[in-house]
Amino acid sequence: MKGKGLSLSKSKKRVLSLISIPFIFYIPITLIFNITIYIDVAKIVAIMALFFIVIIAMILYKKQAFSNRNSGLGRRQNKFGSLNRKFKKKIVKKNY
């Protein structure tokens, strides 16, 4: 549970950073030009942000599903040591 929570918070941070980047780029451009352009750009940015969120969410869900289905592959690829430690602890507890 703790691991999942951490991963979610990291993904949220990534999403926030992705959303903030277009705003940082567009706001100065709009300030240089008229306010009328700003409204259109804001709409475009909002649509872009929504698309980014949807894509990232899909990728995250796919990753979670993949790890749940074939956990063995995930163990070999990603965090080998930490998972092994967890399993060793579990085995020790079962033996006693």
pLDDT digits (tens, 9 = 90+) for 4-55: 444 556 666 666 666 666 666 666 666 666 656 566 777 777 777 888 888 8
Query: Taking the chain, what is the end-to-end CA distance rounded to the nearest angstrom?
Result: 25
Q: Report the C-alpha gap between 52 and 58 in whole angstroms.
A: 10
pLDDT at 42: 72
Residue type, 87: F
d(C-alpha 2, C-alpha 83), whole Å: 14
Mean predicted confidence (pLDDT) in 63-82: 53
How many CB atoms neighbour CB 69 within 10 A?
10
User: Could you read off the pLDDT of 32-45 as tens digits, one per residue?
Assistant: 666 565 667 777 77
Structure tokens, 9: 């918070």
- Look up residue 34 and give its DSSP letter: -
